[in-house]
Amino acid sequence: MESETQAGPAGAALPLPPMKWDAWGDPALAKELSADVKALLAAALGVTGDAAPGPGADEVLLHPSRLTAEDLKALAAVVGEAHVSAADADRLPRAGGKSTPDLLRRRSREPQDAPDAVVLPGSEDEITALLALCAERRIAVVPFGGGTSVVGGLDPERGGLAAVVSLDLRRFDALLDLDETSGEAVLGAGLTGPAAEALLAERGFELGHYPQSFRFATIGGFAATRSSGQDSAGYGRFDEMVRGLRVVTPAGVLDLGRAPASAAGPDLRELFLGSEGTLGIITAVRVRIHPVPAAKAYEAWSFPDFATGTAALRAVEQQGTGPTVIRLSDEAETMVNLAMTEKIGGEPAVTGCLAVTVFEGTPEQVAARHELTRTALLAAGGTSLGEAPARAWEHGRFNAPYLRDSLLSAGALCETLETATDWRRLSDLRFAVTAALTEALPGALVLCHISHVYPTGASLYFTVVAALGSDPLTQWAGAKRAACDAIAAQGATITHHHAVGADHRPWMTDEVGELGVRILRAVKAELDPAGILNPGKLIP
Ligand SMILES: Cc1cc2nc3c(=O)[nH]c(=O)nc-3n(C[C@H](O)[C@H](O)[C@H](O)COP(=O)(O)OP(=O)(O)OC[C@H]3O[C@@H](n4cnc5c(N)ncnc54)[C@H](O)[C@@H]3O)c2cc1C
Protein backbone atom coordinates (compact mmCIF):
# COMPACT_ATOMS: atom_id res chain seq x y z
CA MET A 1 0.00 0.00 0.00
CA GLU A 2 1.24 3.46 -0.83
CA SER A 3 2.28 5.90 1.86
CA GLU A 4 -0.07 8.80 2.47
CA THR A 5 2.57 11.51 2.16
CA GLN A 6 4.81 11.25 -0.80
CA ALA A 7 7.35 13.70 -1.97
CA GLY A 8 5.98 16.17 -4.49
CA PRO A 9 7.06 19.59 -5.65
CA ALA A 10 9.33 21.25 -3.13
CA GLY A 11 8.01 24.08 -0.96
CA ALA A 12 4.55 22.69 -0.25
CA ALA A 13 2.89 24.09 2.86
CA LEU A 14 0.08 21.51 2.97
CA PRO A 15 0.06 17.71 3.00
CA LEU A 16 0.24 16.65 -0.65
CA PRO A 17 -2.06 14.24 -2.45
CA PRO A 18 -0.39 10.81 -2.23
CA MET A 19 0.22 10.71 -5.96
CA LYS A 20 2.82 12.00 -8.34
CA TRP A 21 1.81 15.36 -9.79
CA ASP A 22 2.56 14.40 -13.41
CA ALA A 23 1.94 10.66 -13.42
CA TRP A 24 -0.14 7.91 -11.88
CA GLY A 25 0.37 6.67 -8.36
CA ASP A 26 3.32 5.92 -6.16
CA PRO A 27 6.65 6.77 -7.84
CA ALA A 28 8.17 3.75 -6.09
CA LEU A 29 5.89 1.47 -8.10
CA ALA A 30 6.59 3.09 -11.48
CA LYS A 31 7.76 0.53 -14.01
CA GLU A 32 10.05 0.53 -17.02
CA LEU A 33 8.48 -0.93 -20.14
CA SER A 34 9.30 -4.62 -20.49
CA ALA A 35 11.15 -5.84 -23.58
CA ASP A 36 7.86 -7.50 -24.65
CA VAL A 37 5.91 -4.22 -24.52
CA LYS A 38 8.69 -2.39 -26.38
CA ALA A 39 8.62 -5.04 -29.09
CA LEU A 40 4.82 -4.77 -29.34
CA LEU A 41 5.02 -0.99 -29.65
CA ALA A 42 7.61 -1.23 -32.40
CA ALA A 43 5.74 -3.92 -34.32
CA ALA A 44 2.20 -2.58 -33.96
CA LEU A 45 2.72 1.18 -33.93
CA GLY A 46 6.25 1.79 -35.17
CA VAL A 47 7.04 3.47 -31.84
CA THR A 48 10.69 2.92 -31.04
CA GLY A 49 11.99 6.10 -29.48
CA ASP A 50 11.56 8.17 -26.39
CA ALA A 51 9.32 11.24 -26.23
CA ALA A 52 10.95 14.44 -24.99
CA PRO A 53 11.00 14.40 -21.17
CA GLY A 54 8.55 16.77 -19.46
CA PRO A 55 9.62 19.52 -17.08
CA GLY A 56 10.49 18.88 -13.45
CA ALA A 57 8.05 20.19 -10.84
CA ASP A 58 10.24 23.23 -10.19
CA GLU A 59 10.33 24.04 -13.93
CA VAL A 60 6.55 24.03 -14.43
CA LEU A 61 5.05 27.44 -15.00
CA LEU A 62 1.67 28.15 -13.40
CA HIS A 63 -0.44 31.20 -14.09
CA PRO A 64 -0.11 33.32 -10.95
CA SER A 65 -2.76 33.05 -8.24
CA ARG A 66 -5.56 35.57 -8.68
CA LEU A 67 -6.39 35.71 -5.00
CA THR A 68 -5.45 38.84 -3.08
CA ALA A 69 -3.66 38.79 0.25
CA GLU A 70 -6.93 39.85 1.78
CA ASP A 71 -8.78 36.88 0.21
CA LEU A 72 -6.16 34.50 1.59
CA LYS A 73 -6.45 36.08 5.02
CA ALA A 74 -10.23 35.64 4.93
CA LEU A 75 -9.87 31.98 3.91
CA ALA A 76 -7.34 31.44 6.69
CA ALA A 77 -9.74 33.01 9.18
CA VAL A 78 -12.16 30.15 8.36
CA VAL A 79 -9.86 27.11 8.21
CA GLY A 80 -6.73 28.32 10.02
CA GLU A 81 -3.41 29.50 8.54
CA ALA A 82 -2.07 25.94 8.42
CA HIS A 83 -4.85 24.85 6.08
CA VAL A 84 -4.61 27.37 3.25
CA SER A 85 -1.90 27.76 0.67
CA ALA A 86 -1.40 29.64 -2.56
CA ALA A 87 2.07 28.17 -3.06
CA ASP A 88 2.67 26.73 -6.54
CA ALA A 89 3.85 23.52 -4.90
CA ASP A 90 0.38 23.03 -3.39
CA ARG A 91 -1.54 24.26 -6.44
CA LEU A 92 0.25 22.10 -9.02
CA PRO A 93 -0.76 18.66 -7.65
CA ARG A 94 -4.42 19.81 -7.60
CA ALA A 95 -4.35 21.35 -11.09
CA GLY A 96 -6.40 18.51 -12.59
CA GLY A 97 -7.08 14.80 -12.59
CA LYS A 98 -5.26 11.83 -14.13
CA SER A 99 -6.59 11.39 -17.65
CA THR A 100 -3.99 11.18 -20.40
CA PRO A 101 -4.80 14.78 -21.48
CA ASP A 102 -4.27 15.81 -17.83
CA LEU A 103 -0.85 14.17 -17.81
CA LEU A 104 0.05 15.74 -21.16
CA ARG A 105 -0.94 19.16 -19.83
CA ARG A 106 1.12 18.64 -16.67
CA ARG A 107 4.11 17.70 -18.82
CA SER A 108 3.78 20.87 -20.88
CA ARG A 109 6.35 23.67 -20.72
CA GLU A 110 3.63 26.27 -21.44
CA PRO A 111 2.13 28.15 -18.47
CA GLN A 112 -0.63 26.03 -16.94
CA ASP A 113 -3.89 26.74 -15.14
CA ALA A 114 -4.13 25.73 -11.49
CA PRO A 115 -6.44 26.56 -8.60
CA ASP A 116 -5.57 29.96 -7.14
CA ALA A 117 -5.27 28.39 -3.67
CA VAL A 118 -5.90 25.16 -1.83
CA VAL A 119 -8.03 24.97 1.33
CA LEU A 120 -8.32 22.04 3.72
CA PRO A 121 -11.43 22.48 5.87
CA GLY A 122 -11.78 20.25 8.94
CA SER A 123 -15.51 20.43 9.72
CA GLU A 124 -18.89 20.95 8.08
CA ASP A 125 -19.14 24.33 9.81
CA GLU A 126 -15.90 25.37 8.16
CA ILE A 127 -17.21 24.23 4.76
CA THR A 128 -20.43 26.21 5.32
CA ALA A 129 -18.40 29.31 6.18
CA LEU A 130 -16.04 28.75 3.22
CA LEU A 131 -18.94 28.47 0.77
CA ALA A 132 -20.48 31.69 2.13
CA LEU A 133 -17.15 33.49 1.86
CA CYS A 134 -16.53 32.22 -1.67
CA ALA A 135 -20.05 33.24 -2.79
CA GLU A 136 -19.48 36.71 -1.34
CA ARG A 137 -16.04 37.10 -2.98
CA ARG A 138 -17.01 35.38 -6.24
CA ILE A 139 -14.57 32.51 -5.86
CA ALA A 140 -15.32 29.16 -7.52
CA VAL A 141 -14.82 25.97 -5.49
CA VAL A 142 -13.61 22.65 -6.91
CA PRO A 143 -14.00 19.78 -4.42
CA PHE A 144 -10.89 17.55 -4.49
CA GLY A 145 -11.01 13.93 -3.28
CA GLY A 146 -8.28 11.60 -4.50
CA GLY A 147 -7.58 13.60 -7.65
CA THR A 148 -8.19 10.60 -9.95
CA SER A 149 -10.86 12.09 -12.21
CA VAL A 150 -10.37 11.16 -15.86
CA VAL A 151 -13.05 13.46 -17.30
CA GLY A 152 -11.78 16.92 -16.42
CA GLY A 153 -13.84 16.94 -13.20
CA LEU A 154 -11.07 18.82 -11.38
CA ASP A 155 -10.24 21.40 -14.05
CA PRO A 156 -9.65 24.71 -12.24
CA GLU A 157 -12.49 26.50 -14.04
CA ARG A 158 -13.45 29.91 -12.71
CA GLY A 159 -16.76 30.03 -14.61
CA GLY A 160 -16.55 33.79 -15.02
CA LEU A 161 -15.83 34.33 -11.31
CA ALA A 162 -12.82 36.12 -9.89
CA ALA A 163 -10.81 33.07 -8.80
CA VAL A 164 -11.00 29.36 -8.00
CA VAL A 165 -9.94 27.33 -4.97
CA SER A 166 -9.43 23.60 -4.60
CA LEU A 167 -11.30 22.31 -1.54
CA ASP A 168 -9.36 19.22 -0.49
CA LEU A 169 -11.41 16.82 1.68
CA ARG A 170 -8.49 14.85 3.12
CA ARG A 171 -9.26 15.89 6.71
CA PHE A 172 -12.64 14.10 6.54
CA ASP A 173 -10.89 10.81 7.15
CA ALA A 174 -12.69 9.08 10.01
CA LEU A 175 -14.82 5.99 10.36
CA LEU A 176 -17.73 7.82 12.01
CA ASP A 177 -19.93 4.85 12.85
CA LEU A 178 -20.12 1.12 12.34
CA ASP A 179 -23.45 -0.60 12.95
CA GLU A 180 -22.69 -4.33 12.99
CA THR A 181 -26.34 -5.21 13.48
CA SER A 182 -27.56 -3.41 10.37
CA GLY A 183 -24.37 -3.93 8.33
CA GLU A 184 -23.76 -0.22 7.77
CA ALA A 185 -20.84 2.15 8.25
CA VAL A 186 -20.53 5.91 8.03
CA LEU A 187 -17.29 6.87 6.28
CA GLY A 188 -15.68 10.29 6.03
CA ALA A 189 -15.67 11.56 2.44
CA GLY A 190 -11.89 12.04 2.37
CA LEU A 191 -10.98 8.43 3.25
CA THR A 192 -9.14 6.70 0.42
CA GLY A 193 -10.22 3.20 -0.62
CA PRO A 194 -7.41 1.45 1.30
CA ALA A 195 -7.86 3.64 4.40
CA ALA A 196 -11.61 2.92 4.51
CA GLU A 197 -11.09 -0.82 4.01
CA ALA A 198 -8.39 -0.92 6.71
CA LEU A 199 -10.72 0.74 9.26
CA LEU A 200 -13.56 -1.64 8.39
CA ALA A 201 -11.27 -4.69 8.41
CA GLU A 202 -10.24 -3.93 12.01
CA ARG A 203 -13.86 -4.75 12.87
CA GLY A 204 -14.16 -7.74 10.51
CA PHE A 205 -16.03 -5.91 7.73
CA GLU A 206 -15.44 -4.91 4.11
CA LEU A 207 -17.01 -2.43 1.70
CA GLY A 208 -15.86 -4.28 -1.44
CA HIS A 209 -15.50 -1.30 -3.79
CA TYR A 210 -12.37 -1.85 -5.89
CA PRO A 211 -12.15 0.45 -8.93
CA GLN A 212 -8.78 0.41 -10.67
CA SER A 213 -8.12 3.76 -8.96
CA PHE A 214 -8.87 2.19 -5.53
CA ARG A 215 -5.50 2.99 -3.98
CA PHE A 216 -5.96 6.77 -4.32
CA ALA A 217 -9.64 7.65 -4.89
CA THR A 218 -11.89 8.59 -1.97
CA ILE A 219 -15.30 7.73 -0.57
CA GLY A 220 -16.65 11.20 -1.43
CA GLY A 221 -15.25 10.92 -4.96
CA PHE A 222 -16.87 7.49 -5.44
CA ALA A 223 -20.25 8.95 -4.46
CA ALA A 224 -19.80 12.17 -6.46
CA THR A 225 -19.00 10.21 -9.64
CA ARG A 226 -21.19 7.07 -9.28
CA SER A 227 -18.08 4.94 -9.42
CA SER A 228 -18.14 1.24 -10.24
CA GLY A 229 -15.58 -1.25 -8.92
CA GLN A 230 -14.22 -4.52 -10.25
CA ASP A 231 -16.34 -6.54 -7.76
CA SER A 232 -19.54 -4.89 -8.99
CA ALA A 233 -21.15 -8.21 -9.99
CA GLY A 234 -21.04 -9.26 -6.33
CA TYR A 235 -21.36 -6.06 -4.33
CA GLY A 236 -22.88 -3.62 -6.82
CA ARG A 237 -21.79 -0.20 -8.02
CA PHE A 238 -20.82 2.34 -5.37
CA ASP A 239 -24.16 4.16 -5.71
CA GLU A 240 -25.91 0.86 -4.90
CA MET A 241 -23.91 0.61 -1.67
CA VAL A 242 -24.91 4.08 -0.48
CA ARG A 243 -27.55 4.19 2.26
CA GLY A 244 -27.20 7.85 3.21
CA LEU A 245 -25.22 11.03 2.55
CA ARG A 246 -24.35 14.26 4.31
CA VAL A 247 -23.92 17.18 1.93
CA VAL A 248 -22.99 20.79 2.66
CA THR A 249 -24.43 23.18 0.07
CA PRO A 250 -24.36 26.98 -0.09
CA ALA A 251 -28.09 26.83 0.79
CA GLY A 252 -27.69 24.55 3.84
CA VAL A 253 -26.77 21.06 5.02
CA LEU A 254 -28.64 17.93 3.92
CA ASP A 255 -28.71 14.60 5.76
CA LEU A 256 -30.35 12.17 3.36
CA GLY A 257 -31.40 8.53 3.63
CA ARG A 258 -32.99 7.41 6.89
CA ALA A 259 -34.32 3.90 6.22
CA PRO A 260 -33.33 0.84 4.16
CA ALA A 261 -36.07 1.80 1.73
CA SER A 262 -38.61 4.60 1.60
CA ALA A 263 -41.65 5.77 -0.33
CA ALA A 264 -41.22 9.36 0.83
CA GLY A 265 -41.19 10.91 -2.61
CA PRO A 266 -38.33 10.95 -5.10
CA ASP A 267 -35.05 9.77 -3.59
CA LEU A 268 -33.01 12.93 -3.06
CA ARG A 269 -29.83 10.90 -2.47
CA GLU A 270 -29.88 10.29 -6.20
CA LEU A 271 -29.49 14.01 -6.83
CA PHE A 272 -26.13 14.03 -5.11
CA LEU A 273 -24.85 10.66 -6.32
CA GLY A 274 -23.07 11.70 -9.50
CA SER A 275 -23.40 15.43 -8.78
CA GLU A 276 -19.61 15.84 -9.24
CA GLY A 277 -19.23 18.71 -6.81
CA THR A 278 -21.67 20.93 -8.70
CA LEU A 279 -24.47 20.83 -6.10
CA GLY A 280 -22.71 20.43 -2.76
CA ILE A 281 -19.77 19.03 -0.84
CA ILE A 282 -20.30 15.44 0.33
CA THR A 283 -18.78 15.12 3.80
CA ALA A 284 -19.84 11.61 4.89
CA VAL A 285 -21.39 8.56 3.26
CA ARG A 286 -23.35 5.78 5.00
CA VAL A 287 -22.65 2.56 3.15
CA ARG A 288 -23.75 -1.06 3.21
CA ILE A 289 -20.93 -3.35 4.38
CA HIS A 290 -20.46 -7.11 4.67
CA PRO A 291 -18.25 -9.42 6.76
CA VAL A 292 -14.76 -9.92 5.31
CA PRO A 293 -15.29 -12.97 3.05
CA ALA A 294 -14.14 -16.21 4.64
CA ALA A 295 -13.53 -17.96 1.32
CA LYS A 296 -12.59 -17.13 -2.22
CA ALA A 297 -12.36 -19.11 -5.47
CA TYR A 298 -10.94 -18.26 -8.90
CA GLU A 299 -11.48 -19.63 -12.38
CA ALA A 300 -10.51 -18.30 -15.80
CA TRP A 301 -12.16 -19.26 -19.07
CA SER A 302 -11.54 -19.08 -22.77
CA PHE A 303 -14.27 -18.40 -25.31
CA PRO A 304 -13.81 -18.86 -29.05
CA ASP A 305 -14.92 -15.28 -29.78
CA PHE A 306 -16.33 -12.17 -28.09
CA ALA A 307 -19.93 -12.84 -29.14
CA THR A 308 -19.89 -16.30 -27.51
CA GLY A 309 -18.27 -14.90 -24.38
CA THR A 310 -20.78 -12.05 -24.21
CA ALA A 311 -23.69 -14.50 -24.42
CA ALA A 312 -22.07 -16.51 -21.62
CA LEU A 313 -21.76 -13.49 -19.31
CA ARG A 314 -25.36 -12.59 -20.06
CA ALA A 315 -26.49 -16.11 -19.14
CA VAL A 316 -24.59 -15.92 -15.83
CA GLU A 317 -26.03 -12.53 -14.93
CA GLN A 318 -29.59 -13.30 -16.00
CA GLN A 319 -29.56 -16.62 -14.12
CA GLY A 320 -28.08 -14.85 -11.09
CA THR A 321 -25.40 -17.46 -10.40
CA GLY A 322 -23.53 -14.99 -8.19
CA PRO A 323 -19.88 -14.38 -9.18
CA THR A 324 -18.22 -11.49 -7.32
CA VAL A 325 -16.10 -10.62 -10.37
CA ILE A 326 -16.86 -11.52 -13.96
CA ARG A 327 -15.12 -9.92 -16.92
CA LEU A 328 -14.44 -10.73 -20.55
CA SER A 329 -11.64 -9.42 -22.78
CA ASP A 330 -12.10 -9.23 -26.54
CA GLU A 331 -9.74 -10.98 -28.94
CA ALA A 332 -7.34 -8.02 -29.19
CA GLU A 333 -7.15 -7.47 -25.43
CA THR A 334 -6.64 -11.20 -24.88
CA MET A 335 -3.89 -11.32 -27.51
CA VAL A 336 -1.80 -8.65 -25.77
CA ASN A 337 -2.47 -10.17 -22.30
CA LEU A 338 -3.86 -6.84 -21.06
CA ALA A 339 -5.78 -8.51 -18.24
CA MET A 340 -2.54 -9.99 -16.87
CA THR A 341 -0.40 -6.94 -16.27
CA GLU A 342 2.88 -8.81 -15.76
CA LYS A 343 2.55 -10.57 -19.12
CA ILE A 344 1.45 -7.66 -21.32
CA GLY A 345 2.98 -7.80 -24.79
CA GLY A 346 4.42 -11.30 -24.30
CA GLU A 347 3.40 -14.47 -26.12
CA PRO A 348 -0.43 -14.65 -25.95
CA ALA A 349 -1.19 -16.68 -22.80
CA VAL A 350 -4.75 -17.50 -23.90
CA THR A 351 -6.38 -17.95 -27.30
CA GLY A 352 -9.79 -16.55 -28.20
CA CYS A 353 -11.27 -14.36 -25.47
CA LEU A 354 -10.25 -14.55 -21.81
CA ALA A 355 -12.89 -14.40 -19.08
CA VAL A 356 -12.10 -14.13 -15.37
CA THR A 357 -14.40 -15.18 -12.54
CA VAL A 358 -13.89 -14.72 -8.79
CA PHE A 359 -16.24 -15.84 -6.02
CA GLU A 360 -16.40 -14.61 -2.41
CA GLY A 361 -18.48 -15.41 0.66
CA THR A 362 -18.74 -18.26 3.12
CA PRO A 363 -17.19 -21.56 1.93
CA GLU A 364 -20.70 -22.90 1.22
CA GLN A 365 -21.74 -19.80 -0.75
CA VAL A 366 -18.50 -19.80 -2.75
CA ALA A 367 -18.85 -23.50 -3.63
CA ALA A 368 -22.49 -23.08 -4.69
CA ARG A 369 -21.93 -19.89 -6.72
CA HIS A 370 -18.84 -21.33 -8.36
CA GLU A 371 -20.62 -24.51 -9.39
CA LEU A 372 -23.67 -22.69 -10.80
CA THR A 373 -21.46 -20.28 -12.73
CA ARG A 374 -19.25 -23.10 -14.11
CA THR A 375 -22.31 -24.94 -15.34
CA ALA A 376 -23.61 -21.81 -17.11
CA LEU A 377 -20.22 -20.98 -18.68
CA LEU A 378 -19.62 -24.55 -19.86
CA ALA A 379 -23.09 -24.67 -21.39
CA ALA A 380 -22.39 -21.38 -23.16
CA GLY A 381 -19.24 -22.72 -24.86
CA GLY A 382 -16.50 -21.80 -22.38
CA THR A 383 -13.33 -23.83 -21.78
CA SER A 384 -11.90 -23.72 -18.27
CA LEU A 385 -8.32 -22.46 -17.92
CA GLY A 386 -8.12 -23.18 -14.20
CA GLU A 387 -7.20 -20.71 -11.47
CA ALA A 388 -3.88 -19.26 -12.61
CA PRO A 389 -4.96 -16.58 -15.14
CA ALA A 390 -7.70 -15.35 -12.77
CA ARG A 391 -5.20 -15.05 -9.92
CA ALA A 392 -2.76 -13.28 -12.27
CA TRP A 393 -5.49 -10.76 -13.14
CA GLU A 394 -6.18 -10.10 -9.47
CA HIS A 395 -2.47 -9.80 -8.63
CA GLY A 396 -1.93 -7.00 -11.16
CA ARG A 397 -5.36 -5.40 -11.11
CA PHE A 398 -4.31 -1.99 -9.81
CA ASN A 399 -1.00 -1.79 -11.69
CA ALA A 400 -1.93 -1.20 -15.36
CA PRO A 401 -2.13 2.62 -14.97
CA TYR A 402 1.62 2.72 -14.29
CA LEU A 403 2.15 1.34 -17.76
CA ARG A 404 0.37 4.35 -19.27
CA ASP A 405 3.04 6.67 -17.82
CA SER A 406 5.85 4.62 -19.30
CA LEU A 407 4.05 4.42 -22.64
CA LEU A 408 3.70 8.21 -22.74
CA SER A 409 7.38 8.60 -22.00
CA ALA A 410 8.16 6.13 -24.79
CA GLY A 411 6.10 8.08 -27.33
CA ALA A 412 2.80 6.19 -27.23
CA LEU A 413 -0.54 7.69 -26.28
CA CYS A 414 -2.68 5.40 -24.14
CA GLU A 415 -6.17 6.31 -22.97
CA THR A 416 -9.41 4.59 -21.98
CA LEU A 417 -13.10 5.32 -22.34
CA GLU A 418 -16.25 3.48 -21.35
CA THR A 419 -19.99 3.26 -21.97
CA ALA A 420 -22.91 0.88 -21.42
CA THR A 421 -26.01 -0.33 -23.19
CA ASP A 422 -28.47 -3.21 -23.20
CA TRP A 423 -27.39 -6.70 -24.27
CA ARG A 424 -29.24 -6.45 -27.57
CA ARG A 425 -27.19 -3.47 -28.74
CA LEU A 426 -23.83 -4.29 -27.16
CA SER A 427 -22.18 -5.78 -30.23
CA ASP A 428 -23.22 -2.88 -32.53
CA LEU A 429 -21.95 -0.43 -29.93
CA ARG A 430 -18.58 -2.13 -29.75
CA PHE A 431 -18.17 -2.08 -33.52
CA ALA A 432 -19.28 1.55 -33.83
CA VAL A 433 -16.89 2.83 -31.14
CA THR A 434 -14.00 0.72 -32.43
CA ALA A 435 -14.60 2.00 -35.97
CA ALA A 436 -14.76 5.62 -34.79
CA LEU A 437 -11.49 5.26 -32.88
CA THR A 438 -9.59 3.47 -35.62
CA GLU A 439 -10.77 5.98 -38.22
CA ALA A 440 -9.67 8.90 -36.05
CA LEU A 441 -6.37 7.26 -35.08
CA PRO A 442 -5.24 5.15 -38.05
CA GLY A 443 -3.08 2.25 -36.95
CA ALA A 444 -4.11 2.50 -33.29
CA LEU A 445 -4.61 -0.58 -31.15
CA VAL A 446 -8.18 -0.62 -29.83
CA LEU A 447 -8.86 -3.15 -27.09
CA CYS A 448 -12.16 -3.77 -25.32
CA HIS A 449 -13.60 -5.64 -22.34
CA ILE A 450 -16.79 -6.13 -20.39
CA SER A 451 -16.30 -5.69 -16.65
CA HIS A 452 -19.70 -4.66 -15.27
CA VAL A 453 -22.78 -6.75 -16.02
CA TYR A 454 -26.49 -6.31 -15.29
CA PRO A 455 -29.49 -8.50 -16.05
CA THR A 456 -30.40 -6.17 -18.94
CA GLY A 457 -27.01 -5.09 -20.28
CA ALA A 458 -23.33 -4.40 -19.66
CA SER A 459 -20.59 -1.78 -19.89
CA LEU A 460 -17.87 -1.72 -22.53
CA TYR A 461 -14.41 -0.44 -21.62
CA PHE A 462 -12.01 0.54 -24.41
CA THR A 463 -8.26 0.96 -24.21
CA VAL A 464 -6.61 2.82 -27.08
CA VAL A 465 -2.87 2.88 -27.81
CA ALA A 466 -1.49 4.99 -30.65
CA ALA A 467 1.78 6.60 -31.69
CA LEU A 468 2.00 10.10 -30.16
CA GLY A 469 1.49 12.77 -32.80
CA SER A 470 3.11 16.19 -32.79
CA ASP A 471 0.03 17.66 -31.02
CA PRO A 472 -1.24 14.78 -28.89
CA LEU A 473 -3.92 16.81 -27.07
CA THR A 474 -5.64 17.66 -30.37
CA GLN A 475 -4.99 14.15 -31.64
CA TRP A 476 -6.79 12.57 -28.67
CA ALA A 477 -9.56 15.22 -28.57
CA GLY A 478 -10.54 14.29 -32.14
CA ALA A 479 -10.61 10.58 -31.37
CA LYS A 480 -12.55 11.08 -28.15
CA ARG A 481 -15.11 13.28 -29.92
CA ALA A 482 -15.58 10.64 -32.62
CA ALA A 483 -16.04 7.90 -30.00
CA CYS A 484 -18.51 9.99 -27.98
CA ASP A 485 -20.52 10.80 -31.10
CA ALA A 486 -20.62 7.10 -31.96
CA ILE A 487 -21.79 6.28 -28.43
CA ALA A 488 -24.54 8.89 -28.62
CA ALA A 489 -25.59 7.73 -32.09
CA GLN A 490 -25.96 4.19 -30.74
CA GLY A 491 -28.21 5.42 -27.92
CA ALA A 492 -25.73 4.22 -25.29
CA THR A 493 -24.75 6.18 -22.18
CA ILE A 494 -21.93 8.69 -22.50
CA THR A 495 -20.43 7.27 -19.32
CA HIS A 496 -21.04 4.13 -17.26
CA HIS A 497 -18.70 5.07 -14.40
CA HIS A 498 -16.08 7.71 -15.26
CA ALA A 499 -18.69 10.48 -14.85
CA VAL A 500 -19.28 13.60 -16.94
CA GLY A 501 -16.89 16.30 -15.76
CA ALA A 502 -15.91 18.82 -18.43
CA ASP A 503 -15.08 16.21 -21.08
CA HIS A 504 -18.52 14.55 -21.47
CA ARG A 505 -20.53 17.69 -20.75
CA PRO A 506 -21.16 18.43 -24.47
CA TRP A 507 -23.08 15.12 -24.69
CA MET A 508 -25.24 15.67 -21.57
CA THR A 509 -28.13 17.27 -23.44
CA ASP A 510 -28.25 14.26 -25.74
CA GLU A 511 -28.21 11.99 -22.67
CA VAL A 512 -30.96 13.62 -20.57
CA GLY A 513 -32.73 15.96 -23.03
CA GLU A 514 -33.31 19.73 -22.89
CA LEU A 515 -35.86 19.38 -20.11
CA GLY A 516 -33.51 17.17 -18.11
CA VAL A 517 -30.82 19.86 -18.37
CA ARG A 518 -33.31 22.52 -17.25
CA ILE A 519 -34.17 20.41 -14.18
CA LEU A 520 -30.47 20.11 -13.27
CA ARG A 521 -29.98 23.85 -13.76
CA ALA A 522 -33.01 24.61 -11.58
CA VAL A 523 -31.68 22.43 -8.76
CA LYS A 524 -28.29 24.09 -9.05
CA ALA A 525 -29.86 27.56 -8.96
CA GLU A 526 -31.64 26.63 -5.72
CA LEU A 527 -28.62 25.10 -3.98
CA ASP A 528 -25.84 27.23 -5.44
CA PRO A 529 -27.33 30.56 -6.53
CA ALA A 530 -23.92 32.22 -6.93
CA GLY A 531 -22.73 29.38 -9.18
CA ILE A 532 -19.52 28.79 -7.23
CA LEU A 533 -19.59 24.98 -7.16
CA ASN A 534 -17.38 23.32 -9.77
CA PRO A 535 -18.34 25.50 -12.77
CA GLY A 536 -18.03 24.02 -16.25
CA LYS A 537 -18.68 20.44 -15.11
CA LEU A 538 -21.59 18.07 -15.62
CA ILE A 539 -24.41 20.58 -16.28
CA PRO A 540 -24.42 22.17 -19.76
C1 LIG B 1 -6.06 4.90 -13.63
C2 LIG B 1 -7.49 5.17 -13.30
C3 LIG B 1 -8.37 4.12 -13.14
C4 LIG B 1 -9.71 4.36 -12.84
N5 LIG B 1 -10.54 3.30 -12.65
C6 LIG B 1 -11.84 3.51 -12.33
C7 LIG B 1 -12.72 2.42 -12.10
O8 LIG B 1 -12.33 1.25 -12.17
N9 LIG B 1 -14.00 2.70 -11.77
C10 LIG B 1 -14.45 3.97 -11.64
O11 LIG B 1 -15.60 4.17 -11.31
N12 LIG B 1 -13.64 5.02 -11.88
C13 LIG B 1 -12.35 4.82 -12.20
N14 LIG B 1 -11.52 5.89 -12.41
C15 LIG B 1 -12.05 7.26 -12.31
C16 LIG B 1 -11.96 7.85 -10.89
O17 LIG B 1 -11.04 7.13 -10.11
C18 LIG B 1 -13.32 7.84 -10.22
O19 LIG B 1 -14.14 8.79 -10.87
C20 LIG B 1 -13.29 8.14 -8.72
O21 LIG B 1 -14.56 7.88 -8.19
C22 LIG B 1 -12.88 9.55 -8.39
O23 LIG B 1 -12.64 9.62 -6.99
P24 LIG B 1 -11.65 10.71 -6.39
O25 LIG B 1 -11.74 10.63 -4.91
O26 LIG B 1 -10.31 10.59 -6.96
O27 LIG B 1 -12.36 12.04 -6.86
P28 LIG B 1 -11.71 13.30 -7.60
O29 LIG B 1 -11.02 12.87 -8.83
O30 LIG B 1 -10.92 14.08 -6.63
O31 LIG B 1 -13.06 14.10 -7.97
C32 LIG B 1 -13.95 13.56 -8.94
C33 LIG B 1 -15.14 14.52 -9.07
O34 LIG B 1 -15.93 14.48 -7.89
C35 LIG B 1 -15.91 15.74 -7.21
N36 LIG B 1 -15.74 15.42 -5.79
C37 LIG B 1 -14.73 14.72 -5.21
N38 LIG B 1 -14.96 14.58 -3.89
C39 LIG B 1 -16.14 15.20 -3.64
C40 LIG B 1 -16.91 15.41 -2.46
N41 LIG B 1 -16.54 14.92 -1.27
N42 LIG B 1 -18.07 16.10 -2.56
C43 LIG B 1 -18.49 16.60 -3.76
N44 LIG B 1 -17.79 16.43 -4.90
C45 LIG B 1 -16.64 15.73 -4.84
C46 LIG B 1 -14.76 16.52 -7.81
O47 LIG B 1 -14.96 17.89 -7.77
C48 LIG B 1 -14.71 15.98 -9.22
O49 LIG B 1 -15.67 16.62 -10.03
C50 LIG B 1 -10.17 5.68 -12.70
C51 LIG B 1 -9.27 6.74 -12.85
C52 LIG B 1 -7.95 6.49 -13.15
C53 LIG B 1 -7.00 7.62 -13.29
Phi, psi of 206 (to 5 degrees): -145, 145
Q: How far is CA 400 from the centre of its chain?
A: 14
What are 305-322's pLDDT values in tens digits? 999 999 999 999 999 999
Neighbours of 503 (CB within 10 A): 26
pLDDT for 7 equals 41
Choice from 225, 246, 460, 524 to test ligand 1 binding pocket (greatest atom count within 8 A of CB): 225
CA distance 247 to 255: 7
What are 474-518's pLDDT values in tens digits? 999 999 999 999 999 999 999 999 999 999 999 999 999 999 999
ipTM over 0.90: yes
pLDDT for 11 equals 74
Cα–ligand 1 centroid distance for 42 (angstroms):
33
Nearest atom (ligand 1) to Cα of 247 = 42
Choice from 227, 231, 235, 405 to test ligand 1 binding pocket (greatest atom count within 8 A of CB): 227
Q: Quick one: DSSP state of residue 60?
A: -
Cβ burial of 530 (10 Å; 0-12, 13-18, 19+) is middle
Report DSSP letters for 149-182, one per residue: -SSSTT----TTSSEEEEEE-TT---EEEEETTT
pLDDT for 5 equals 41
Choice from 19, 21, 128, 149 to test ligand 1 binding pocket (greatest atom count within 8 A of CB): 149
pLDDT for 409 equals 86
Residues of the chain with pLDDT under 50: 1-8
pLDDT for 48 equals 85
Cα–ligand 1 centroid distance for 481 (angstroms):
21
pLDDT for 532 equals 98
The pTM assigned to this predicted structure is: 0.97
CA distance 465 to 444: 6
Helix residue ranges, H only, 226-362: 232-235, 238-241, 269-272, 306-319, 331-335
Cα–ligand 1 centroid distance for 194 (angstroms):
15
